[in-house]
Amino acid sequence: MLYRLKNDFRLSIVTLLSGSAILGITPFAIMRFLDGNLLAGFIDLGILVVLSGSLIYAWVTHDTYRSGIFLAIASCTGAVVVGILVGEVGLFWLYPCLVTTFFLAPSRVAAALNLVSVLAMMTVENAFTSSVQMWTFVASTTIVSACSYVFALRNKEQRERLEQLATIDPLTGVKNRRSMDQELDLAAANAERTGLSYALVILDIDHFKKINDEYGHGVGDNVLRDLVGLIEENTRRTDLLFRFGGEEFVVLFPGVDEDNLKTVVANLQQGLRRSLKGPGGPVTSSFGVAVLRHGESVTSWLSRADHALYRAKESGRDRVVYGDDF
């Protein structure tokens, strides 16, 4: 539960806002029933049911996009209805809704929803004691909506930046180990569901430590970046490249079966052997290859490719070794 809240921002927002709204509205619903204001009480009760339903839906289905939009619409609608029923007091319920819509729904949807809610509230005859109060309400809700939009937009940009930093290797610009683990899990799940074949290659630059020791880490970094460029030139757009760690990289090949995998890997090896160079001359790489088996775990799949790479290193480097499924 805590893991999902930490790693799913929209779910955490839906949970926080729904929980806060439920805690805030429940006492008023009870109070209205005790005061005999049954209509307003049932309206509050309906809002609570909708909030709880949206929260449960988001947790069960993982569909936080639709549940967020529905929650925003329900909250604003409920605030307007309460304003119609109780008059001026109901105006205050709209302000938190105007803020939260930008965190629950896309910006355009939230802006349109806020505009409609404010216009609807302006039509309520008993909501304002004077035209000055009404236009003050319009001005204040406009400021609240604008500030909420800017804050939500800034928050989204920072979150996307943090997500990028967490999944991209800063030196080479390719996806890192964390991202690789996620993609391999998705590939294994997709293979079981659709039957699509997947292969992965772990490649390691031969004698990379010697390059760093003799010419410096700056030169070694350039070799790594050149390697990434050459891999991208010699693979398809649908193939995924990850930095596994140090001078090791992983290439995930979707839709490549055993019949043409050897040709694909041989072409990649020849491309690197022909073009990858350092100050001391050509730079070679060793390859470990494994095709995902039916029902195999990602750990086992990766381990077989890693073991094949170890055998490639042990048998002289600058060669391709396939897992024991070949």
Q: Which residues are catalytic?
A: 247
How would you class 316 by CB atoms within 10 Å of its CB: exposed for 0-12, middle for 13-18, buried for 19 or more?
A: exposed
Asked if 175 contacts 183 with a C-beta cutoff of 8 angstroms, the reply is yes
Q: Rounded distance, CA 263 to CA 260, Å?
A: 5
Q: Rounded distance, CA 179 to CA 164, Å?
A: 10
Q: In sequence order, what DSSP letters do the residues of 162-173 get, joined into one string?
A: HHHHHHB-TTT-
Q: Rounded distance, CA 82 to CA 243, Å?
A: 55
How would you class 28 by CB atoms within 10 Å of its CB: exposed for 0-12, middle for 13-18, buried for 19 or more?
A: middle
Angle 164-169-174 (CA atoms, 0-180°, nearest 5)? 90
Buried b (16+ CB within 10 A) or exposed e, 54-76: bbebbbeeeebeebbbbbbbbbb
Residue that the structure tokens 């005999």 belong to: 36
- 235 sits in which H/E element: none
At 54, list the tokens: 């949206």
- Residue 150's closest CA among 115, 110, 90? 110
Strand partners, 243: 249
